[in-house]
Structure 1
Amino acid sequence: MLLQILSHTPRWVFVLFAVLLWFGAKQLLASSVSLARTTVMPIAMTGLSISGVLSAFGDSPMALVGWGTAAVVLAALVLQFGLPEGTRYDADTRRFHLQGSAVPLVLMMGIFFTKYVVGVMMAMHPELAHNHNLALGLGTLYGAFSGTFAGRAIRLWKLAIRHDRALATEQAA
């Protein structure tokens, strides 16, 4: 059965998997990233997450409420934690210096595999698209991934804003 599922999977899905794996693996290493990049990845992954909800459940209120609630709650929860040790912001280059982390890879693979498994489930059992409990549960899972991504990006933006404000105050004095 697994071979049959894989053989019916479009090639672009394997390409997307490889791209996400590559981007996630790159983040295992310490790096320097721009403000733009800290924003683009969460937006792209949120788009993939929302697309997963909409493609499986349409505009099901249960799925959308689950997604929105989990996204807000997880973003707020992530914001309660400080940045990882060694995280720095360089105002001159407008870049963040980040330690390596497995979290982005786990989140990317979580969204990818959730979307893949849900796609297979819906292809095999289309009636599941009308299951409100499944819609709520999967919407919540997708929202949790998105909220975690968003919270991590917001923490970095807050660091940049604090740093820029402190620099502006210094220059004004």
Structure 2
Amino acid sequence: MLLQIISHTPVYVWAILAFLIHRGAISSRDREIEVARLVIIPAAMLGLSLQGIYTTFGPSGVAVQAWAAGAALATFIAFKSDACARDIAHPARGTIAVRGSWLPLTLMLAIFLTKYAVAVAVSVTSTLQRDPLFAIGICALYGAFNGLFAGTLLRSLVLYRRAGAARPAAAQPV
């Protein structure tokens, strides 16, 4: 059965997986990144999650509420963590020096695998789409993954903003 599932998976799904692994590998290394580019991966993962929710459960209020609850809790936890404690903001260059981490790859693969597993489960047992407990659990999980990205992003943006505010007035561009 596993072989049949894998063989019926569209090629574009494997391309998305390869892209996510590539981006995750990049995230594992220390690097300096433009502040505006910090938003790209969290936004893409948000899009994948919301697309997964919408195509599986439709625009259900319960699904959206479960996603929002998971996202809010995980955003708070990630924001309060010290995940970005060693990052260094460079407002003059518009960049942040980000420490390498395997967390982005882990989260991207978690979203991908959740989306894949849900698609397989729904194709095998179509009644799952109408099961409110299944919808709540999956949507809260998507929300938690997105919240971890969002909290880390917010923490980086706050770090950047504080570093910009701490610069002497004479050094700030006019």
Fold shared by both chains (TM-score > 0.5): yes
Superposition TM-score tier, normalisation by shorter sequence: over 0.9
User: What letter corresponds to residue 71 of structure 1 in structure 2?
Assistant: A
- Conserved in 1, the CA contact under 8 Å of 2:84 and 2:155? no
Matched residue, 1:136: 136
**Other structure's SS at 1:32 match:** strand
Matched residue, 2:53: 53
- 1:41-65 deviation per Cα after TM superposition (whole angstroms, max 9, x unaligned): 1111111111111111111222111
Matched residue, 1:93: 93
Q: Does 2:105 align with 1:113? A: no
TM-score (norm 1): 0.94
- 1:12-161 correspondence runs (5 A): 12-161=12-161
Find the aligned partners of 2:57 and 2:149 in 1 and give their Cα distance: 22
Q: 1:134 to 1:37 in 2, by over 3 A?
A: same
- Conserved in 2, the CA contact under 8 Å of 1:60 and 1:135? no
Q: 1:84 to 1:157 in 2, by over 3 A?
A: closer
TM-score (norm 2): 0.94
- 1:75-124 deviation per Cα after TM superposition (whole angstroms, max 9, x unaligned): 11111123444310111211111111011000000000000010111111
Find the aligned partners of 1:5 and 1:113 in 2 and give their Cα distance: 13
Q: When the two structures are aligned, how many residues end up with a matched partner? A: 172
User: What letter corresponds to residue 159 of structure 2 in structure 1?
Assistant: L
- For residue 171 of structure 1, report the CA deviation from its aligned partner: 5.3
- Conserved in 2, the CA contact under 8 Å of 1:76 and 1:151? yes
**Other structure's SS at 1:14 match:** helix
User: What letter corresponds to residue 138 of structure 1 in structure 2?
Assistant: I
Find the aligned partners of 1:112 and 1:63 in 2 and give their Cα distance: 18
- Conserved in 2, the CA contact under 8 Å of 1:27 and 1:100? yes
- Aligned-residue sequence identity (percent) comes to 34
Any gaps of 5 or more consecutive residues in structure 1? none
Moved more, 86-95 or 163-172: 163-172
**Other structure's SS at 2:97 match:** strand
Find the aligned partners of 1:40 and 1:26 in 2 and give their Cα distance: 14
Find the aligned partners of 1:67 and 1:23 in 2 and give their Cα distance: 24
Find the aligned partners of 2:86 and 2:150 in 1 and give their Cα distance: 20
Any gaps of 5 or more consecutive residues in structure 2? none
